[in-house]
Each structure stands twice: as structure tokens, then as C-alpha cells.
Structure 1
Amino acid sequence: MDSSVPLVLLLLMCSSIMVEAQLKVYDLRATDLPTVVLLTTDAYVKVSSGFTSLGKTSVRYNDANPWWEEEFSYFNIKENDTLTLKVYDLDLVFDDLLGVCKRKLKVGTYQHDCFLTKGGTLHYTYTLG
């Protein structure tokens, strides 16, 4: 009976360790972005997790329904870390923030829709594994 105690302790220790995994964010697209004074949005997305920037997409000019081909990957992610996507409209003076999407990460592949505060929807997929 004493020989099972180290095994139980080992199992408890292993279950409490947070495993780091690879995050992949892809298939970013938006629909029905707002039009301001006859100007269609020049949109781009910044992607981050915690304090780590994963990068930003290219700008899609004059497109209320842009689709971005970029994929973002990062290796030091843990389940329950927060994924943040910020959608901007490029302007001459300063870029307008159209909305922020935040999501706690889970292991697996998920597709999400995020309704932006200034109008429109961001659609994206992520895989954590």
C-alpha cells in the first residue's frame, strides 16, 4: 500500500502543471463595417495575447467586408490565457478603434463572431493545441 503513495503524488503534480501550447489565429474577416461620411472603412486587425503582440494584418482599403490572409502563431500560450483582437480603421491623423474582441483560450479549434462596438462583426478561427 505504501508503494502507491509516490504514484498518487506524481499524478497530482502532473495534473497541476500548466502545459504550454501553440496558438494559431487565422481566417480573419469582417462584415458590415461602418461607413463614415461616404468613406468606406480601411480596416486592419491587431492580434495579441496578454502583453504579447502577435502582429497585425495588412490594411484592406475601402472594404466594408474585408478578408485577411495572414495567420498568427505563438508557442508560449496556456489554456485560459486571453486572446485579444482589435479592429481599427486607418485614418490620416489617428486610427479609429472599431471594436475589441477578447476570449479566454481553450484547447481545440473554435470559430467565433465578435460584434464590434462601432458596427460590424469580426469573424475568426483559432486553434490551441
Structure 2
Amino acid sequence: FVSLAVLMLASQFDFTSAAVRVFGLHARDLTGDPPGNKPDPYVKIWCGSSFGGQTEFLKNTANPVWAAEFTFPNCKANDILKLEVWDKDLKFDDRLGICIRRVQYGSFT
């Protein structure tokens, strides 16, 4: 069982360029492998079928805050914004959780 208490995101829909901006990513109470260890988390992000990239991994933290910002110039209202939180490991990285939201018009935090 993986405890992903919160993965917060802020996004902004810019009507003039029809872009979605994602910034202010952070998570709380992440667990590592094995449970009790702190993870080395990072986030992968998509809007629709477009992969936006990933954050840097942060070493040994259950409450990460990432400075990364992602822009999706072709993301439209009703597209799916998907963020996956991963734990960086030596051989195989472990997925800790997923956050999925439908893109809506407006600014949200």
C-alpha cells in the first residue's frame, strides 16, 4: 500500500495562447521502498498524449517541493492532465502514486 496523501498542482489556462502551465508541484507523506524509508521522488507529467517531461529527483524526502514548471501549448479544455510520482532506485524506479485531472478553463491552485 502506497500512501500518497497529497500531490498539489497549480495550472493556468491562457486563453490567448491556449497553453496550460503547471507549476508549484509538491507532495506530502510519501513512503519509500521498503516502507519506513524516505523516497527519492520525482514527477512525470502528461497532457493528453503529450509527455511534458519530468522533474529532478529529490533525495531522501517524504515531502518534496519541485521548482520545475511545465507548459503544454496544445493542451485543450477537457484533455487529461496526468502526473505520476516515482521513487528513484538503483535498478527499477517505483511508482508511488498518480494524480489525474481534466483540464478546465480558468486558473486553479
Same fold (TM over 0.5): yes
Q: Distance in 2 between matches of 1:20 and 1:81?
A: 16
Percent identity between matched residues is: 41
Higher helix proportion, which one?
Answer: 1
Corresponding residue for 2:23? 26
Unaligned runs of 5+ in 2: 1-15
Give matches, 1:82-93, under 5 Å. 82-93=80-91
Unaligned runs of 5+ in 1: 1-18, 112-129
Q: Distance in 1 between matches of 2:58 and 2:66?
A: 8
Higher strand proportion, which one?
Answer: 1
The 3-state SS of whatever aligns with 1:77 is coil
Q: Is the 8 A contact 1:20 1:78 kept in 2?
A: no
Q: Distance in 1 between matches of 2:96 and 2:56?
A: 16
Q: Distance in 2 between matches of 1:69 and 1:48?
A: 17
Computing the radius of gyration over CA atoms, which structure comes out larger, 1 or 2?
Answer: 1
TM-score, normalization: structure 1? 0.67
| Runs of 4+ with deviation above 6 angstroms | none
